[in-house]
Amino acid sequence: MSDILSQRLQPRHFSLIKAIADLGQLSLAAASLSMTQPAASRMLAEIEKIVGATVFVRTPKGMEATEIGNALARRAETLLEEIREAMREVDAIKRGASGTVRVGAVTGGALGYIVPAIRALKAESRMAEIHVDVAPSGALVSNLMSGQFDFVLGRIPFGIDARQFDIRHALAEEVDLVVHQRHPLAGVGRLHMGDLQHFPWAMQGPGAPMRQAVEHAFVEAGANLPGDVVNTTSLLVMIAMIASSNAIAPVSREVSDLLCHPGTGAGLRRLDLSLPINVLPYHMITLKSRRMSALASRLQDLVLQQFINR
């Protein structure tokens, strides 16, 4: 029986029940709902027919809820608030102020552009649910193609048809070489790559863009490539290596800004190089076949604003 009632009682019925319970007068309840009193009276009769019991009784002081009326009024308050909340959520999603967005980025892009854009988005809507993954470009683009990301900041891997993507902006990535402040080369000015070849290194595996940029710098300087290398994509492993040894780790400028800031207390420093090391640019990449949500589009716009402001 309760299932039948729930199917037949409509939100407009509950609105009238709550209005009568709150105001105590059918005329006032009707006015609050922009109804005529006869229309409200007919709706109340409809409600009582559906329920099969009296919901309100008329007294000299106005309309007084029966026990059933009180129960329905309590439920009405909860139900109507749920409906209002649902509509607020729908409106927020349509405006791009709520919902879920999933993005991926190379490390420098995540720190330099995604994080500031997230702060701006959260200032607009703290209820937005945001997922961020940091990974090499190959994994990022693969997951973008499988639908796990709304957009990524990365590079198109070799062998992937770039025509399936919208590719926007070329973002330069400068490499810094980071060591512990106790490192023998910390504080030494205008270092050449040949000065670094005999030290241990912690860096991305062969073929990674940053690894290629570092190796290219050694070759251009006429120096031998380092032989003592720990291969890792983990920034934490790199930090552990340079904190506990004389290892050198190449990281993006955005990462070194964070790690080498005096406020972090990490005790890390950039090496002073005579020539800069630059990685191939990365891009804002989206799938042409994927339509983004309003929230994802808003975050993308905020990331693009970060590009312009840099």
Domain termination residue (choose one: 52, 69, 94): 94
Whether 40 contacts 16, CB under 8 Å: yes
**Cα 229 from Cα 238, distance rounded (Å):** 11
pLDDT of residue 2: 47
List CB contacts of 79: < 8 A, sequence separation 6 or more: 11, 14
74, 153: one domain: no
Tell me phi and psi for residue 276, to 5 degrees. -70, 155
**Cα 74 from Cα 90, distance rounded (Å):** 25
Q: Which domain holds residue 59?
A: 2-94
In a domain? residue 62: yes
pLDDT in tens, the chain (310 residues): 445 445 588 889 999 999 999 999 999 999 999 999 999 999 999 999 999 999 999 998 889 999 999 999 988 888 888 888 778 767 766 665 667 899 999 999 999 999 999 999 998 888 889 999 999 999 999 999 999 999 999 999 999 999 999 999 988 889 999 999 999 999 999 999 999 999 999 999 999 999 999 999 999 999 999 999 999 999 999 999 999 999 999 999 999 999 999 888 789 999 999 999 999 999 999 999 888 888 899 899 999 998 888 7
**Other CB atoms within 10 A of residue 28 CB:** 17
Rg of the chain (C-alpha set):
32
CATH number for the domain including 185?
A: 3.40.190.290
In a domain? residue 301: no
184, 107: one domain: yes
22, 162: one domain: no
**Cα 249 from Cα 203, distance rounded (Å):** 6
157, 234: one domain: yes
Domain termination residue (choose one: 94, 124, 157): 94
List CB contacts of 35: < 8 A, sequence separation 6 or more: 16, 43
200, 244: one domain: yes
In a domain? residue 305: no
CATH number for the domain including 36?
A: 1.10.10.10
CA angle 123, 125, 130 (to 5 degrees): 100
Give the SS3 label for residue 223.
coil
* Total domains in the fold of the chain: 2
pLDDT of residue 4: 44
31, 121: one domain: no
24, 71: one domain: yes
177, 48: one domain: no
174, 243: one domain: yes
